[in-house]
Amino acid sequence: MRSLWVVTFLAFVTSAFTAFLAETFLAERIAIIGTAVGFQLSLNPGIAFGISFAPLLQMLAIVAALVAVIWIAVRSLHTRLQDTAFGLIIGGGLANIHDRLTDGVVTDFFQVGSFPIFNVADSCITIGVLLLLLGIFARRNRGKL
């Protein structure tokens, strides 16, 4: 369980620090691969994929989802994969909440094609969910080998 909180801390600090750097230093788009990939500052008032609700409802939904994930993480079996996955999700979620509390928006800065611009916290959450799914599929397929 200790690794859960270590990963949570690392995901939070990395996410918050990179958002700070983007807001502080990213004045104009920086191309990495032409127009396909780059760093581009975007202040997102919405939640996933730019979807927006009334601010209070939105914050309540975000906090409720994060509390549910923490509850599941603490009550579940603790494999290293699960601890890492839940730590990434919780740390990324906390970083986005922290970012939103300062000015009402989340700082996004990774631009890939026409996909919505995202940040390190979003990447942590996505990778965490993918790791949980990988663990589920691996357990289900173990009996079939």
The catalytic site residues sit at: 108, 122
d(CA 16, CA 142): 38
What is the C-alpha to C-alpha distance for residues 73 and 67, in angstroms, rounded to an integer? 10
Residue 112 vs residues 6, 34, 48, 115, 116: alpha-carbon distances, Å: 29, 10, 16, 6, 8
